[in-house]
A and B are shown apart, each in its own frame.
Chain A
Amino acid sequence: MQDLLKIAETVIKEAQQSGADETDVLINNFTSTRIKVRLGKIEELRQSNPCALGIRIFKNKHKALTYTSDLRPESISKMIQKALAIARVSDADELNGLPESSLLGKVKSDFKLYDPEISNIPAERKIEIAIELEAHGLKQDSLITNSGGAIWNDSYGQSILVNSHGFSGTQDFSSCSLSLQLVAEKDGIKQTDHWLSGKRAFSQLDLIESIAKTAAERTVRKIGARKPKTQPVPVVFDPQAGADFLNIIARVVIGNAIYRKNSFLVDKLNQPIAVKEINIIDDATLPGGNDSRYFDDEGLPARRNIVVENGVLNAYLCDCYSARKLRLPPTGSARRGTSFDPTSSTSNFYMQAGKYTPEEIIGSVKNGLYLTAVNWVGINYVTGDYSRGAEGLWIENGKLTYPVQEFTVAGNLLNMLQSISMIGNDLIFRDSINSPTFKINQLTISGQ
């Protein structure tokens, strides 16, 4: 859609002519479909094509950001004028400004982030797929009694960034996902879980049989859950619990968190923060990656950053502002929406696979927890204190035994990084943040 790029270029011209020193414009325009079916019937068909534009202007080192979903020229002009008008109330900050021109650029390779097939799949096919997925799930096990629904989601469109230093870029993205939530019941106690597959391309989605099977297994294996005893034990993080753990790390290795001192990794650059087997990577150039891109939201080329190398904290991930603030190089890690300023953020973030099979890791535990899910509350990013509602399976003599629920796991994240002892060989890129199975030597279980 050439027109959007033209709009963006017009905005830059108009803002600069109206007195801005520097300007950038982000336009996001995506078409999305969401289809939810439940018990074989459509519950919701939702279709949308939102478009929004965000303008960031700098004048005498002051800054303002305005945005609108109304892209008529008069409305956009008003938002340009509004940005210039309100910039005066911000304070001048020497560190404000667009990236230096020499930093700007795009990666030229084809990362396969846009699948033209998605826009051509007829709605009836999507509905059919969701209905089939749910039907497969419901027949997996006689204990499965209800469905929370199967959801098809897709989205495709483009993100356009233009700035007054001459950067002009369009990147096309697509995504699609299928998820299923099931309910199992035994002795009057209901359990639920879900499974999801989400990819850039339709052909990359897991087979519906496989999604249904996993959703059913995860649901049924919770039947008969007990509340474990309060005790310190070794904890094996499955890839989902591991991804949650890495999601926390993702929030404390970014420049914004560091300069705001909202991270337990402040002052830890180039120091060992984890056992030497740990390597953590942020790679925005992963082909087909759910969070890959060609340039970041300030116009820096996408890149691969080694964040933790052999246990040493190798880099903070920085957008231009946090980089200037910390006197570090920016890492192409700027992320913004049309309605908010760039901040630093991870892309495809993962822990490198180790050498153990998940069975070997579980097999190494005499009495402990196989952690499969945690709730979102209970993280103190400043101190690294960690206390989370959890679910899992109990390990006895190296074997998974009964399910456990209604308990917490607690510890400190820095201690946890330093007591990871076995890393699995089962890293799979399912999501933006991915982890292999790993073991932490000791955490406190609080239950009975």
Chain B
Amino acid sequence: MKRREFLIKSGALAAGIVTAPVWFDMAGYPKTIPTSGIQNLENLFNISTAEAQKLLDRALSRGAQSADLFCEYRTSSNLRIEDRIIKDVNYGIILGMGVRAIKGDQIGYAYTDAINFESMLKVSDTAANIADSSAGVWDIRFQKVPVKDFYPIKIYSIDADIDRKITLLNRADEAARQFNSRVTNVTASLGDELRQIMYFDSSGKKFQDVQPLLAIRVQVITERGGKRQGANASRSARKGLDFFDVSENLPQAVAVEAARIAITNLEASPAPPGPQIVILGPGESGVLIHEAVGHGLEADYNYKNLSNYSGRIGQKVASQYCTIIDSGQMPGMRGAINVDDEGNLPSNTILIENGVLRGYMHNGISAHMMGAKPTGNGRRQSYAYPPLARMTTTYLQKGDYPSEEIVQSVKKGVFAKGFSGGQVDIIKGDFTFGVTEAYLIEDGKLTAPLKDVTLIGNGPAIMNKILMVGNDLKISAGTWSCGKDGQTVPVSVGNPTLKISEITVGGS
């Protein structure tokens, strides 16, 4: 009956956060919002500790156990070249504040993109409705979270000279076309964003962080005798434009990679179907780790007993050669974070050690529910969403074998080098991942290119079939984005060369 009570009292929820056009409500608020560059978010949102205390008081006013405020100011730009001309030039700003009130593992969440205190109070009241009693007295003493900098940058790419970015795209376009006359279409885009966030919570944590993200993507179409083939390549990092000065990240190199795969795949034949020995190349194949292991070890699924790894800490869930880590601390990586979106510092979390399940990735609520320490994996897509337990950079630690030796050990099998992404059913553990560049292995050598193919297996079953691990760990610099419960966050994946003794190959 308690809920009923809450329900009746919370009728205000339906009326919404704001129904009036509050964006006209200008009085007393900053008159200008600069269009890029670093902001002082306290000034921008007009929130200092006094206002934060007031807003948190309101969020806690109905008896929530904790509450937080998340302010975000994000600038993004995107440039796209197609048919040899710069076609799209986009630029935008989103900004807003989300308020969360927490009671156990129940949350009330509301946000506003109207920057005025009255709207902020309204969303605090809305979020407060998750609870249904009265508040205690909260005297919050805010302390800055001691944040390290895993993405030090001199000039953010969003502020860099736009003509320089155009030059980079032209180089990519040119390189793909010069690579081979069979290249008929090239599309390349260069996107960047600067995500500036500010956080306060009822335990007194506060921080600000500036999270840059840069990405280039090239798509190439090739044609030969009426047959067409396409391929993509990408690079992304939390770095400035000098990221593209490194030889393997040169826009030309990215374009040539896409063109090379598309040309190679013009000749590709269908992969043989059925279970086979598969070798995964280093880097991009980390998508296996992300799907087969990573999602299932996000703690929010585990405290609800919704993962095939639930309750299996201490059990053997992979071969002895597998040690798997999630680290938010890898400098400049797409998956790096200085601090998670609820004020916890990122860590190097050992998920699996020599095949034995050691730990989960936590957000604040899952850590609370499981009596564990937060691991700094509470992430959100934007101020419009509450944080979930999410991965950062997830990879399998390197082993002993040179990659050549691993390939030479296989008489007949498939070598999978490039990947598009994957999917997993967390409850049963079945996962798939899409291979976009693959070759047949015959007598220890790579031979014919194979068409796009899907690999399918069950998490622990396949992880137990990893028999050789290469000494060539590589973290992929691709534009990996992870989706969960309607939210997308940037992540990184990594792997050394791996030999799987048997996995089903979706050939025809």
Contact = CB atoms under 8 A, between A and B. Distances in A.
Interface stretch (A16-24, A205-213, A299-307, A400-408): A400-408
Contacts, number: 297
A410 B507 CA distance: 6
Contacts of B454: 375, 377-378, 387-389, 408, 410
Contact of A406 (B11, B89, B91, B456): B456
Interface in B251-299: 270-271, 273-275
A124 B12 CA distance: 10
B230 A50 contact: no
A49 B273 contact: no
B94 interface: yes
Interface residues of B, number: 96
Contacts of A378: 432, 434, 452-454, 506
Given A47-B13, A377-B423, A79 B506 contact: no
B323 to A, nearest CB: 26
22 contacts: A41-B3, A43-B106, A45-B10, A93-B87, A123-B129, A192-B427, A192-B428, A260-B185, A261-B184, A261-B230, A262-B219, A262-B230, A338-B92, A375-B423, A383-B229, A385-B451, A387-B434, A387-B508, A388-B506, A446-B505, A446-B506, A447-B274
Interface stretch (B142-150, B300-308, B314-322): B300-308
Interface in A75-103: 75, 78-79, 82-83, 86-87, 89-91, 93
Given A31-B17, A42-B3, A260-B187, 10 more contacts: A66-B90, A70-B113, A75-B93, A89-B162, A90-B88, A266-B228, A378-B506, A383-B229, A387-B271, A389-B454
Nearest to A266: B228
Interface string B207-229: 00000000000010101000011
Contacts of B111: 48, 50
A50 B115 contact: no
Contact of B274 (A65, A189, A448): A448
Contact of A405 (B3, B184, B428): B428
Interface of B: 3-4, 7-8, 10-11, 13-14, 16-19, 21, 23-24, 26, 31-33, 35, 76, 79, 82, 85-96, 105-113, 115, 123, 126, 129-130, 162-163, 166, 184-185, 187, 219, 221, 223, 228-230, 270-271, 273-275, 304-306, 308, 384, 386, 420-423, 425, 427-428, 430-434, 451-454, 456-458, 504-508
Contact of A90 (B89, B384, B457): B89
A324 B386 CA distance: 43
A25 to B, nearest CB: 13
A110 interface: no
Interface in A113-157: 119-124, 126-128, 146, 148
A3 B21 CA distance: 7
Nearest to B230: A382
A48 B275 CA distance: 48
A262 B221 contact: yes
A44 interface: yes
B223 to A, nearest CB: 8
Among B4, B8, B230, B271, the most chain A Cβ lie within 10 Å of the Cβ of B230
